[in-house]
Structure 1
Amino acid sequence: MTSAIPRLETDRLILREISIADWPEYRSMLMSERAIHMGGPYSLAGAWGMFCADTAQWSLFGVGALMIEEKSTGLCVGQVGINHGPLFPEHELGWLLYQDAEGRGIATEAAIAMRAWAFGVRKLTTLVSYITPDNHRSIGLARRLGAVLDHDAQRPDPEDLVFRHQAP
């Protein structure tokens, strides 16, 4: 399935296609302890594989990751996306922020925009967020988004919590 990669805008953010210019910061984050809640820290090869998978999902599944750019500074501050494929039992709404971007509502704003696109444009009826139990910031965000814990959902890692987002 080939799908045009969207460019989404919010009041403060541009959610845009991944470019190779995003690689150095993305690599640094995935190779650091900050990636602990995403199966990391990753090796260089593992980080590159994640970067490529985030891009390839668009042509394979019609979903994927978008980089989060602040309109006011032009800086890339993280990523938001819909993950799908053999590693994900369901479409997953996921996010990551670079350290300096935390605590400003950026992940919430980006996740709301990505979720609206998934439900409105892709016509998905449900999304999940797979979150490790000790990732309290992401659990808080999932709850702020209105997602509810789904104890019966399949999960890629048996330890993950699954938060379900229902279409409006």
Structure 2
Amino acid sequence: MYSMPTLETERVILRVPTMEDWPEYSELMVSERSVFMGGPFSLAAAWGLFCHDVAQWALMGFGALTIEERRSGQCLGQVGVNSGPLFPEYELGWLIYSHAEGKGFAYEAALELKRWAYHERKLETLVSYVDPLNIRSRSLAERLGAKLDAAAPRQDPTDLVYRHPFE
């Protein structure tokens, strides 16, 4: 059994998702804003994804963490390492709620989780699967230092694969 870490940076706390996080998560996942993640999803499918994000911790030792703003305690989104039969490689992924976009929170959270994955869990590689039309996520992957890897395996053949350097 794996434990879920709590990670902290200057502005955010990455913590275990709770039921209090569900309303904003479900709102995003049933909306058009989730189109680059395979959505919009039904409410039932969104619930399954939320539970999947938490269950991966017990099954795989990885999963999603809620991004909470340290100053206000407000939920800003999610960052996670995905693995298992649906992912050819360990994936560093993120989602950010509209009220937190463009403020660097996703970058700060993803950078900290990447550090944890490489240095604490000793992963040798991380990728991000990004829809080619998702300019914001492409920019974030590049800001994190990731480079396109056209030869990498992918679940969705249309995704771009960004490979994150070990740091």
TM-score range, shorter chain: over 0.9
- 1:26-105 residue pairs with structure 2 within 5 A? 26-105=25-104
| Partner in structure 1 of residue 114 of structure 2 | 115
Tell me how many residue pairs correspond in the alignment.
167
Q: Distance in 2 between matches of 1:167 and 1:63?
A: 18
Q: CA RMSD in A?
A: 0.5
Q: Distance in 2 between matches of 1:85 and 1:42?
A: 21
Letter in 1 for 2:78: Q
Letter in 2 for 1:17: V
Give SS of 1:88's match: coil
Letter in 1 for 2:62: V
Query: 1:137 and 2:136 equivalent?
Result: yes
Instruction: Please list every run of at least 4 consecutive aligned residues from structure 1 whose deviation after the TM superposition is greater than 2 angstroms.
Output: none
Letter in 2 for 1:115: K
Q: Distance in 2 between matches of 1:105 and 1:83?
A: 22
Q: Distance in 2 between matches of 1:107 and 1:3?
A: 24
Letter in 1 for 2:46: A
Letter in 2 for 1:49: G
| Partner in structure 1 of residue 10 of structure 2 | 11
8 Å CA contact retained: 1:125, 1:166: no
Letter in 2 for 1:73: S
Name the structure with the higher strand share. 1
- Per-residue CA deviation, residues 54-74 of structure 1 (Å, 9 max, x unaligned), is 000000000000000001111
